[in-house]
Amino acid sequence: MKAFVRIIDEVESMKQMVRGSAILLVLVASVLSLSAQNDKAAIQQLKGELEQKNIVYFATAVPGAAGTYVGVQHIKGMALIVIHCRAAADNMSFLDEEIAKKDYRKVYKDLSMMRGNDYSLVFDFGLDSLEIESGSGDFIQENDKVRYLNKSFTENNFTTQEEYAAFVDKYRESYVRWLQVISKQLR
DSSP class of 83: E
Check residue 32 and give its pLDDT: 38
Q: Give me the phi and psi of 82, to 5 degrees please.
A: -115, 130
Residue 29 lies in a domain: no
The model's pTM: 0.77
Question: Both ends of the chain: CA-CA distance in Å?
Answer: 74
Residue 30 lies in a domain: no
Residue 149 lies in a domain: yes
Residue 13 lies in a domain: no
DSSP class of 148: E
Altogether, the residues listed in the chain come to a count of 187
Residue 25 lies in a domain: no
For 22-72, how does the pLDDT look when each residue is reduced to its tens digit (9 = 90+)?
443 333 333 333 344 678 888 898 889 999 999 999 999 999 999 999 999
Residue 54 lies in a domain: yes
Domain count, the chain: 1
Check residue 7 and give its pLDDT: 64
DSSP codes joined into one string, the chain? -HHHHHHHHHHHHHHHHHHHHHHHHHHHHHHHHHHHHHHHHHHHHHHHHHHHTT-SEEEEEPTTSTTEEEEEEEETTTEEEEEEEEPPHHHHHHHHHHHHTT-HHHHHHHHHT-TTSS-EEEEEETSS---TT-SS--EEEETTEEEETTS-TTTTT-SSHHHHHHHHHHHHHHHHHHHHHHHHHH-
Could you list the pLDDT tens digit for every one of the 187 residues in the chain? 666 556 666 656 666 655 554 443 333 333 333 344 678 888 898 889 999 999 999 999 999 999 999 999 999 989 999 999 999 888 899 999 999 999 999 999 999 998 767 899 999 998 888 888 778 889 999 988 999 999 999 999 999 999 999 999 999 999 999 999 999 999 8
What is the C-alpha separation between 150 and 156, in angstroms, rounded? 10
Residue 66 lies in a domain: yes
Q: Which domain holds residue 122?
A: 36-186
Residue 9 lies in a domain: no
Check residue 11 and give its pLDDT: 59
